[in-house]
Amino acid sequence: MAGDAGGLHQGDVLSRSPPTGKTSREAVRTMISNRNLRMWLVLMVALALAGCVGSEGQRRVQEANDLLSTDRLDEALAAYKDAERMEPDLADAHYGEGLALYQLQRHAEAEPALLRAVELDPEHALYHVYLGRVLGRLDRLEEAEEVFRRATVLEPIEPEGWRGLGLTLYNQGRGADARVALEQYLAFARSDSDRSAIMQLVRVLPAAPPKG
């Protein structure tokens, strides 16, 4: 059962979710879940005007976010690295570097950047989600599973953790377990663009055996 599922791969990126400062994390997570990039950009402008993106490194991350949102990936990558030089412990800068490298299909290079982001902010579920996607692309499925499980613990209602976990389990040939995780994804992802594809996959996966 290993391989892609109806064109889906557990490492697929269905949205480009630029990093954000800690001060706005809860609001931006909602935007990321809805994949509404336009509203995300409006929110970030408002936060910047309110002084929530204040340090030099954070401002450089914001500039990089703008570049990333318009697919100027090489420029965004350079800007995130600038932010890291300004503030080596700025988790969002390392996350942004990893995300840009992921989009550039440079998965092996993305891994250490995302690991650093997780090290600096281990409670941020989205960092784990993208690390899991990178590990999946590197065919390190057991490690990816562990990372996705951590994401679902950190943010139980964030659908991307469940999606990544479900597709990772599917690619390991664990259909019943994959179905459980993907049903959780469907419960929380009410308007995602690939919801119908996931529903089709769930229909053909075996149900988990009854307990007891």
For the domain with range 17-121, which CATH number is right: 3.40.190.10, 3.30.460.80, 1.25.40.10, 1.10.40.30?
1.25.40.10
Distance CA 78, CA 195 (A): 34
Same topology, domains 17-121 and 141-206? Answer is yes
| DSSP per-residue codes, 182-202 | HHHHHHH-SS-TTHHHHHHHH
Q: Is the pTM value of this prediction over 0.85? A: no
* Mean pLDDT of the 59-69 span: 93
CB 10 within 8 A of CB 136: yes
Task: Tell whether the model's pLDDT for residue 10 goes beyond 70.
Answer: no
The phi, psi pair for 115, rounded to 5°, reads -60, -40
> What is the structure's pLDDT at 108?
98
For 18-56, what is each residue's pLDDT tens digit?
555 443 334 333 333 333 344 444 445 454 544 455 789
For 155-193, what is each residue's pLDDT tens digit?
999 999 999 999 999 999 999 999 999 999 999 988 777
Helix (H) or strand (E) holding 176: helix 175-188
Q: At 167, list the tokens.
A: 């597709």
Domains of the chain by residue range: 17-121, 141-206
Distances (CA, A) of 47 to 21, 51, 76, 134: 10, 6, 20, 30
* Mean pLDDT of the 131-153 span: 97
Task: Tell whether the model's pLDDT for residue 141 goes beyond 50.
Answer: yes
Distance CA 167, CA 100 (A): 22
126 three-class SS: helix
For 72-102, what is each residue's pLDDT tens digit?
999 999 999 999 999 999 999 999 999 999 9
Distances (CA, A) of 146 to 140, 143, 164, 166: 10, 5, 11, 12
Task: Please give the CATH topology (third level) of the domain spanning 141-206.
Answer: 1.25.40
Task: Tell whether the model's pLDDT for residue 7 goes beyond 50.
Answer: no
CB 158 within 8 A of CB 187: no
> What is the structure's pLDDT at 122?
96
> What is the structure's pLDDT at 50?
46
